[in-house]
């Protein structure tokens, strides 16, 4: 019995190490995400519509201006899934700081989804660079 418990503990420990080895930490948001994104292309130029501007070290929305501390990359079913750890200032009250995590996914068509977790992911379209 003791040998079986010890074997299970070793297998569990090895499996846990293998799962963690797949997560890679980066300093920057991947370049394929950089740019301005909105729910629809028509919303790109409307100041009152939800938009996200992403760059190597920034995540900016109408409500928050964030700097990127790090980005964790994990394997996804079809493409990597990224989780950015952010330090944010609330627009209108820069003294108010918020720590936040944002997930980023990109599909084969170039569209991205972003949100606090899998249940809140919102699809976004890339705005024209013009």
Question: pLDDT by residue (tens digit) across 49-58?
Answer: 778 999 999 9
The DSSP call for residue 61 is -
Q: Please state the length of the chain.
A: 130
Other beta carbons within 10 Å of 123: 14
Q: How does pLDDT run across 71-99, given as a tens digit for each residue?
A: 999 998 888 999 999 999 988 887 888 99
Instruction: Give per-residue pLDDT as tens, 102-130.
Output: 999 998 888 899 999 989 999 999 998 76
């Amino acid at each position: 019995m003791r040998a079986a418990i010890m074997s299970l503990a070793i297998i569990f420990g090895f499996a846990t190490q293998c799962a963690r080895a797949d997560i890679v930490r980066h300093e920057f948001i991947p370049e394929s995400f950089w740019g301005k994104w909105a729910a629809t292309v028509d919303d790109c130029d409307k100041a009152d519509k939800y938009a996200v501007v992403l760059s190597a070290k920034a995540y900016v929305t109408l409500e928050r201006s964030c700097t990127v501390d790090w980005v964790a990359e994990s394997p996804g079913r079809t493409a990597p899934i990224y989780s950015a750890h952010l330090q944010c200032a609330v627009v209108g009250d820069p003294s108010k700081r918020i720590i936040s995590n944002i997930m980023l996914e990109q599909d084969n068509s170039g569209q991205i989804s972003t949100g606090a977790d899998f249940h809140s992911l919102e699809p976004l379209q890339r705005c024209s660079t013009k």
